[in-house]
Amino acid sequence: MAHEHAIAPQPRQTFTGNRALDIEEPLLFDIGRADTTGVDIDAPGDFAPRLGGLEQTRAPDLPGLSEPEAVRHYVRLSRMNYSIDAGLFPLGSCTMKHNPRLNEKMARLLGFADIHPLQPQSTVRGATALMAELAHWLMTLTNMSAVALSPKAGAHGELAGMMAIKAAIVARGEQATRNVVLVPDSAHGTNPATAALIGFRVRSVPAGEDGLVHPAAVREKLGPDVAAIMLTNPNTCGLFEREVVEIAAAVHEAGAYFYCDGANFNAIAGKVRPGDLGIDAMHINLHKTFSTPHGGGGPGAGPVVLSERLAPFAPVPFLRRDGEDFTLVEHATGSQAFGRVTAFHGQMGMYVRALAYMYSHGADGLKQAAEDAVLNANYVRACLSNIMSQPFGDRPCMHEVLFDETWLKNTGLTTLDFAKALIDEGYHPMTVYFPLVVKGAMLIEPTESESRASLDLFVMAMRDLALRALRGEKERFEHAPRFAPRARLDETRAARSPVLKWRKRAPVADAAE
Amino acid sequence: MRYLPHSPQDRADMLARIGVEKIDDLFVDAPRDKLIDGLVDLPRRKSELEAERALARMAARNTPASSVPFFVGAGAYKHHVPAAVDHLIQRSEFLTSYTPYQPEIAQGTLQYLFEFQTQVAALTAMEVANASMYDGSTGCAEAVLMAHRITRRRKAVLSGGLHPQYAEVARTLSAMAGDAVETMGPDVSAREDIVARIDKDTSCVVVQSPDVFGNVRDLRPIAEACQRNGALLIAVFTEAVSLGLLTPPGAMGADIVVGEGQSIGNGLSFGGPYVGLFATREKFIRNMPGRLCGETVDANGKRGFVLTLSTREQHIRREKATSNICTNSGLCALAFTIHMTLLGGRGLRELARVNHANAIKLADMLGDAVLNRSFFNEFTVRVKADAAALVERLAARGVLAGVPVSRLLPGAGLDDLLIVASTEINSDDDRATLAAALKEAL
């Protein structure tokens, strides 16, 4: 039974175990019934099935709920979640900015939401026009030659970009010799995973004492066996890679390609064009820079922009101009396209949202958004730098500011304790323990969506906690979070004996309880 | 700008607090000559009204499925989704939350993922399911890589009934990874002998049912042959509603089941976002790609949920991870779960029966032109014309008749074949319209 390892049961303060608006909700399988349905379906008359004898005799063993029960169930579940709509979400590297509701409304226009990917192209000219328009904005903002829209998430865009690089290497006949990808040790975990997935060997490049990657360190690892470097810019420490142009030149001189992880493009959109820095491929997380909702972990979208050298290798489908209209080219035959990364044409619902965001901002608004994101992160830095420690000194950052846990030394507290105490203050914690190269990292990204008043309150809450930590007042940290729907969860137990689905309880266990 | 809270005075005050004069003093690490002077060459901001009008003009140039008699399938299907589904997934707490890395304040997401995993496992009759993939096609390609890891072999055999775009995604990824893929020729009538292609080097066999041409396939003999040779059977489906009526792949011996979940809870949306379903045997979980949600308890002994077994994943294992995936398709998985909860097992079965009955009615109207001996809600028709040209002609007359096979398999000599789907959305009138329109070409 689930309770056998309990430390101490909480005193029941109410009959239901609820506390006013704080309401517990059982699993669907505890409340649903096999004979209940929330959908009225007119039963078809009798017919002889033509299922090749593979008809299932019984309905799937899954409970149903009527509509009022289902609505209540999922509304109650929703209330156990933190969200950007409800509060500041300073999750560094993840960019939890406001999700405009116009985007949602536009994505639900029947002309976008209710069209099939394989209906005749003559009946979806507006959809291909929208994709072409989005492509134009992405290429203009990055000054790149081509874009593959279809990747379904950032990591998927990364994969598509690295596949284009591999295809280019194959076209040069160098696949046997160029099989190494350089990855700085501060990189997102997806970078080495992506490179390894398509058969590259990963060679680490150390970052300097200042958190930046330096040309000398790159040159040391470059050689005729190197296919590409994967560099994040602005990097995962929240810093602009100052010598990125020199790095690009060194990489190109060695015959390799420059893949840029564009996770942090939101800091520079409208300010700096990656194509001007010598980048050959970069994915853009539409859910970060262009505000498509994170949805509790997807769906995302990860278009990848490509330089002129890589453009011919872009996967299908791609757009071809036909007079006033655009046609989706769906087959690689007769081109150098490296293949296909997903069925159909990618995340149309996300394209609409991203373009709505772009139209709303315009060239001027996008630049202002990037500047405000950087302004807000630096404001947080300025307000906290005299109490918390920064791994690379107190210097301007981009859209996110990185602290470490050096300042917590001798307090007996960790970054994790601090993060969990922040939950009780009504905030989602910052990103913790990433990047891996910084001990006890706390990466704070307020985004441009926060007002000055919101930042001031956040900073005061942070300072209050920090002062308590330094004074040795541990009660805010011990057992935190105390006011969340759950206390700290036992992750070791979850991994040691995984329970990944609901099972009917054995009658004996029920009796024991 | 309506999404940016700062006034010019706020910005000036904040710059002063930071101790710099101007905003570009914060962009000090960017090369001076690379900072854009002025604005990029794109239009200025639009009001909400203007932006809405510009996008609505594009939307108006498309023909929505609900506006015409509609029979297009082949991997994405038009179904009725209850209004409650779209309302609930737009709750701020679902829509604007993040991947549940802080489980104490993400139990809503985690609990529905646990419900989702349970539903997918039950529908496929498999022991475990993950928290979803990007879509069916990417899930399929990842399943092939997973089979290679488990069997330590590197040759996959793809059935000629597998959706051609799924096959292409798997071939692309495998080619890049240096693995071998054998693709059987297009198998319109489900007559291929895939068992004969399985040998001691085969890591997996990928078979879709109902296949892209609509045929229902018996996986049992293939599963037996796989077992004899130490290979894995990967069963694929693109129409999740079929699971309400067909023997589930897990009951026929599949080792990995991947499918497209769009049909349940999610609209067509021109191909995405969709939701990949991924299920397997318990003994393979540590080789699985994607996020997994597991049950545990909190410090007070209350049941709760967390993301688990993350030692498979890229943020821990980096280049040794089982895949590079770092998200799932959370909100689409939620839509799937809510719709599935509204249906219940009984409702799904009824929905599946209506679909099958509708397809039978249409097949009977089209007679001998239907090539399938078996089908669920979709089948292949031979027309006496070029199917793609015919589809265009009918589209001009306001009927979206189906998917010409040549759209998926150009140059395969199958230009006279049309894949036609009929779900619960089609009325008798729709079917009569299609049958009359097709008659001239049959």
Which residues neighbour B137 within 8 Å (Cβ) at sequence distance 6 or greater? A342, A343, A344, B163, B165, B166, B169, B260, B276
Query: Do A103-358 and A365-487 show the same overall fold?
Result: no
Contact yes or no for A113 and B65 at CB 8 A: no
CA dihedral A152, A154, A160, A163 (to 10 degrees): -150
Per-residue pLDDT tens for A129-161? 999 999 999 999 999 999 999 999 999 999 999
CB contact under 8 A, B410 and A295: no
**A52-104 residue pLDDT tens:** 999 999 999 999 999 999 999 999 999 999 999 999 999 999 999 999 999 99
Encoded tokens for A195: 């490179």
Q: Tell the CATH topology of B65-80+344-439.
A: Aspartate Aminotransferase, domain 1 (3.90.1150)
Taking the CA of residue A173 as centre, how many other CA atoms within 13 Å lie in the half-sphere pointing to its CB? 0
Q: What is the DSSP letter of B37?
A: S
Q: Which of B257, B205, B267 is nearest to B230 (CA)?
A: B205
Cβ atoms of residues B43 and A254 within 8 Å: no
Comparing CA positions, the residue from B190, B230, B36, B94 lying closest to residue A272 is B36
The DSSP result for A230-262, as a single string, is: EEESS-TTS---TTHHHHHHHHHHTT-EEEEEG
Residue B351 tokens read as 């929905």
- CB-based contact A41 B10, cutoff 8 Å: no
- Domain boundaries along the sequence of chain A: 103-358, 365-487
Estimate the crossing angle of helix B107-124 against helix B330-366, to 10 degrees.
30
Q: What SS3 state is found at A180?
A: strand
pLDDT for A86 equals 97
Across the interface, of A48, A338, A363, the residue whose CB is closest to B43 is A363
A266: helix, coil or strand?
Answer: helix
What is the percent of chain A where pLDDT is above 90?
92
Q: What are the strands of the beta sheet with A304-306, ordered from one edge?
A: A146-148, A304-306, A281-283, A257-261, A226-232, A180-184, A201-205
3 state DSSP class of B46: coil
Cβ atoms within 10 Å of A244's Cβ, excluding its own: 27
Contacts of B31 in chain A (CB under 8 A): 242, 244-245, 277
User: B105–A62: do the CB atoms touch at under 8 Å?
Assistant: no
Per-residue pLDDT tens over the stretch A413-457: 999 999 999 999 999 999 999 998 999 999 999 999 999 999 999
Tokens at A59, concatenated: 């309905």
CA distances from A116 to A110, A113, A433, B48, B265 (A): 11, 9, 43, 27, 15
Contact A271 B344 (CB under 8 A): no
Tokens of B321: 């991870």
- Decide if B314 touches A, using CB distance below 8 A: yes
The domain over range A365-487 is classified in CATH as 3.40.50.2300: no
Task: Note the maximum CA span of chain B.
Answer: 81
Biggest CA–CA distance in chain A, Å, is 78
The residue of A13, A50, A401 whose CB has the most chain B CBs within 10 angstroms, and thus the best one to mutate to test that interface, is A50
Position A507 confidence tier, pLDDT thresholds 50, 70, 90: low
Cβ pair A196, A230 in contact under 8 A: no
Sign of torsion, CA B428 B430 B436 B438? negative
Neighbours of A388 (CB within 10 A): 23
Residue of chain B with shortest Cα separation from A38: B342
Nearest-angstrom CA–CA distance, A238 and A48: 64
Question: Distances in Å between the alpha carbon of A423 and those of A150, A200, A476, A487, B4?
Answer: 37, 41, 11, 11, 25
Looking at A318-409, which runs of residues are DSSP E strands?
318-322, 325-329, 401-403
Supply the pLDDT for residue B433: 96
CA distance A370 to chain B (A): 10
Do the Cβ atoms of A268 and A234 come closer than 8 Å?
yes
What number is the ipTM of this complex? 0.98
Residue A414: burial class (beta carbons within 10 Å; 0-12, 13-18, 19+): middle
CB < 8 Å from A in window 401-440 of B: 403, 407-408, 410-411, 424
Provide the residue count of chain B.
442
Asked if B97 contacts B106 with a C-beta cutoff of 8 angstroms, the reply is yes
Buried b (16+ CB within 10 A) or exposed e, B120-134: bbbbbbbbbbbbbbb
Number of H helices, E strands in chain B: 13, 12
What is the model's pLDDT at position A12?
A: 60
- Identify the sign of the CA torsion A393, A394, A398, A400: positive
What pLDDT is stored for residue B328 in this prediction?
A: 87
- Residue A451 DSSP SS3: coil
Task: Note whether B43 contacts A: Cβ–Cβ < 8 A.
Answer: yes
Per-residue tokens: A5: 């390892």
Residues forming a β-bridge with A203:
A182
Order of all β-strands in the sheet with B378-382: B378-382, B417-421, B403-404
List, for residues B246-292, the tens digit of each pLDDT value. 999 999 999 999 999 999 999 999 999 999 999 999 999 999 999 99
Quickly state the pLDDT bin for A291 (edges 50, 70, 90): very high
**CA of A357 vs chain B CAs: smallest distance (Å):** 9
Contact of B326 with chain A, judged by CB distance below 8 Å, is answered with yes
| DSSP code at position A425 | T
Architecture of domain A103-358: 3-Layer(aba) Sandwich (3.40)
Closest-CA distance of chain B to residue A281, Å? 17
Q: What is the DSSP letter of B370?
A: B
B15 touches chain A (CB under 8 A): yes
Encoded tokens for A279: 């980048």
**Residue A329 bridge partners (DSSP):** A318
Region A167-190: mean pLDDT is 95
Section A363-378 average pLDDT = 98
Separation CA B156–CA B292 (nearest Å) = 26
A509 confidence band (pLDDT: 50, 70, 90): very low
Q: Is A116 left (phi over 0), alpha (psi -120 to 50) or beta?
A: beta
* Confidence at residue B320, expressed as pLDDT on a 0 to 100 scale: 82
Nearest 5°: phi and psi at A163? -65, -40
Q: What is d(CA A67, CA A274) in angstroms, rounded to the nearest whole number?
A: 50
Mean of pLDDT values over A389-395: 96
Structure tokens that stand for B178 in this block: 């240096």
Q: How confident is the model at residue B224 (pLDDT cuts 50, 70, 90)?
A: very high
Cα–Cα distance measured from residue A304 to residue A47, given in angstroms and rounded to the nearest whole number:
50
Alpha-carbon distance A225 to A235, whole Å?
25
Category of B353 on φ-ψ map: left (φ > 0), alpha (ψ -120 to 50) or beta:
alpha
The CATH code of domain B83-338 reads 3.40.640.10
Name the residue facing B14 among A5, A368, A379 (closest C-beta): A379
- Facing residue for B100 by CB, picked from A29, A297, A341: A297
Q: Which residue of B has its CA nearest to A356?
A: B51
Which of residues 88 through 127 in chain B touch A, CB cutoff 8 A? 88-100, 102-109, 111-112, 114-115, 117-119, 121-123
Angstrom distance (rounded) from CA A361 to CA A384: 31
Spatial distance between the Cα atoms of A477 and A466, rounded to a whole number of angstroms = 11
Across the interface, whether the CB atoms of A299 and B327 are under 8 A apart is answered: yes
By Cβ distance, the residue of B106, B171, B342 closest to A82 is B106
Nearest C-alpha in A relative to B249: A54
Residue B344: list chain A partners with CB under 8 A.
32-38, 62-65
Q: What is the mean pLDDT of residues A185-190?
A: 89
Measured between beta carbons, the chain B residues lying within 8 angstroms of A271 are 27, 30, 35-36
Amino acid of residue B126 = M
Q: Is the pLDDT of residue B241 over 60?
A: yes
Residue indicated by tokens 């993950």: B130
Please state, in angstroms and rounded to a whole number, the distance separating the CA atoms of residues B433 and A421. Answer: 64
Interface of B with A in 213-242 (CB under 8 A): 215-218
Residue A510 has pLDDT above 50, yes or no: no
The pLDDT of residue B323 is above 90: no
User: Could you tell me if B326 and B69 are in contact, meaning their C-beta atoms sit under 8 angstroms apart?
Assistant: no
CB B345 within 8 A of CB A56: no
Structural domain spans, chain B? 65-80+344-439, 83-338
CB contact under 8 A, B93 and A85: yes
- Taking the Cβ of residue B308 and every Cβ of chain A, the question of whether any pair is shorter than 8 Å is answered with yes
Query: If you average pLDDT over every residue of chain B, what do you get?
Result: 96
- What does the pLDDT read at residue A169? 97
**Mean pLDDT across chain A:** 94
Task: Give the pLDDT confidence of B158-210 residue by residue, as tens digits.
Answer: 999 999 999 999 999 999 999 999 999 999 999 999 999 999 999 999 999 99
Question: What is the SS3 assignment for B196?
Answer: helix
| Distance (Å) from the alpha carbon of A408 to chain B's nearest alpha carbon | 21
Which of A196, A471, A60, A148 has the alpha carbon at shortest distance from A340? A148
B106·A500 Cβ contact <8 A = no
Helix residue ranges, H only, B152-219: 164-177
Of B107, B112, B168, the CB nearest to A486: B107
Chain A positions in Cβ-Cβ contact with residue B175 (cut-off 8 Å): 339
Q: Which residues contact A46 (CB under 8 A, 6 or more apart)?
A: none
Beta-carbon separation of B246 and A273 below 8 A: no
B368: nearest Cα among B278, B277, B442, B268: B442
**Please, which residues have CB within 8 angstroms of residue B355's CB and are 6 or more apart in sequence?**
B241, B242, B376, B377, B422, B423, B424
The candidate with the shortest Cα–Cα distance to A164, out of A62, A59, A309, A314, is A314
